[in-house]
């Protein structure tokens, strides 16, 4: 990443740089720009977005735990819901970056 950023910033000095999976232009976008690009990689991106929005807005954690097949019905709470969402976003990000879909 640093090599690619250096090449972009000092293109008059650096002839070339090698960086694998370096989101250099991401440095100048908004904080959700990366996720928007990732979700476009999936053919069902509208469904993914809708599911994540629904998950985020719901408060019935016991029902959600049963739907997701979690072992502990108390697994989802207000405190760890964001961690769960971050984990889901990581799964989609890695799948898109390695061109899995």
Q: What is the mean pLDDT of residues 61-81?
A: 82
- Report the SS3 class of residue 40: helix
Residue 30: predicted pLDDT:
62
What percentage of the chain reaches a pLDDT higher than 70? 84
Whether the pLDDT of residue 13 is over 80: the answer is yes
pLDDT tens across 37-70, in order? 777 777 777 888 888 888 888 888 888 888 888 8
Query: Is the whole-model pTM more than 0.75?
Result: no
């Amino acid at each position: 990443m640093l090599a690619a950023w250096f090449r972009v910033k000092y293109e008059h000095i650096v002839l070339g740089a090698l960086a694998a999976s370096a989101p250099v232009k991401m440095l100048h976008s908004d904080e959700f720009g990366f996720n928007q690009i990732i979700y476009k990689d999936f053919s069902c991106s509208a469904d993914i977005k809708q599911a994540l929005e629904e998950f985020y807005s719901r408060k019935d954690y016991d029902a959600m735990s049963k739907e997701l097949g979690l072992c502990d019905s108390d697994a989802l709470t207000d405190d760890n819901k964001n961690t769960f969402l971050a984990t889901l976003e990581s799964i989609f990000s890695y799948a898109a970056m390695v061109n899995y879909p």
